[in-house]
Structure 1
Amino acid sequence: MESSEADVVISGISGRYPGSDNIEEFWLSLINGNELYSADDRRWPIGYVGLPPFKGTIKDISKVDQQFFRISPEEADSMDPQFRMLYEVVYEAIYDAGRYAFK
């Protein structure tokens, strides 16, 4: 397939990370060399061999804007927290792509 000057790709980005609620916070943490894990993130006692000693925790994983996504409270309670977060992250990625597409 040949490309031409009229070909356009619109992409967006979003995410949640330990110690960062969005891509901008995560990027600033990386640039500044911030530690994204705390002492509370320790999985097991010091000296346990074979597995990483820390876990990455994401705050407010169980929250979702039920009204915005038109999810009933009962449905939201039965959903996996990762799936609820997926709603928000996908929406933010689409919004991010549109932010640059129509200037």
Structure 2
Amino acid sequence: MSKRQTMTENIPIKSKKMKTPEDSYDEKSDYYENEETDSDDDIAIVGVGCKFPGADNIEEFWKVLYNGENHVNEIPIDRWNVEAFHSEDLDSSGKTYAKHAGLVKNFTQWDNKCFGINDTEAKEIDPQQRYVLECVHMALEDGGITRKSIKGSDTGVFIGNFQ
């Protein structure tokens, strides 16, 4: 599978402008319009960067989904001592009743120099913030975008995250 090919290549994608709810719906017309637009409201998703349990990038994530893999496992001792924080009592303060989790690999490893962050500061950065930096970098690379090409441009990065 090449860098730009994914397991979704056979899924048809419509590239059409959706009518707004204010537009009247005509049963004879399609819900989508086929017109090109050039608006300040236009957006483009040009690259994807992600890390999930069992997947360090989008291609691996598609494989996990395709294969129906489950990467929720018993929490390893090198992550934290589950027994010290576990309780069967759901109302127990400061404890968890979960002994399993879907965890991302290599959470302590990252190339802080790539982001211009010195070693001292790098030790203090939250792993979630490191993942954001890495995934944004990954998305830019996936889209073929360099730092130089977007410097000073009206470029935004939008992040989807949940816990």
With the length of structure 2 as denominator, give the TM-score of the two structures: 0.47
Secondary structure of the corresponding residue to residue 55 of structure 1: strand
Deviation at 1:52, TM superposition (A): 6.9
The structure richer in strand per residue is: 2
1:12 corresponding residue in structure 2: 47
- More RCO (CA 8 Å, sep 6+): 1
State the superposition RMSD in angstroms: 2.8
Kindly indicate whether the alpha-carbon contact (under 8 Å) linking 2:75 and 2:101 is maintained by their aligned counterparts in 1: no
Secondary structure of the corresponding residue to residue 61 of structure 1: coil
Equivalent pairs, count: 93
Counterparts of 1:70 and 1:9, CA distance in 2:
28
The one-letter amino acid of 2:133's match is Y
Deviation at 1:55, TM superposition (A): 2.0
> Which protein has the larger Cα radius of gyration, Structure 1 or Structure 2?
2
Unmatched 5+ stretches in structure 1: none
Match of 1:26 among 46, 61, 70: 61
Q: Percent identity?
A: 34
Unmatched 5+ stretches in structure 2: 1-35, 77-81, 91-96, 146-163
With the length of structure 1 as denominator, give the TM-score of the two structures: 0.71
Kindly indicate whether the alpha-carbon contact (under 8 Å) linking 1:14 and 1:23 is maintained by their aligned counterparts in 2: yes
The structure richer in helix per residue is: 1
| Cα deviations by residue, 1:46-92 (Å, 9 ceiling, x for unpaired) | x887x876322111122220222121111001111111121111011
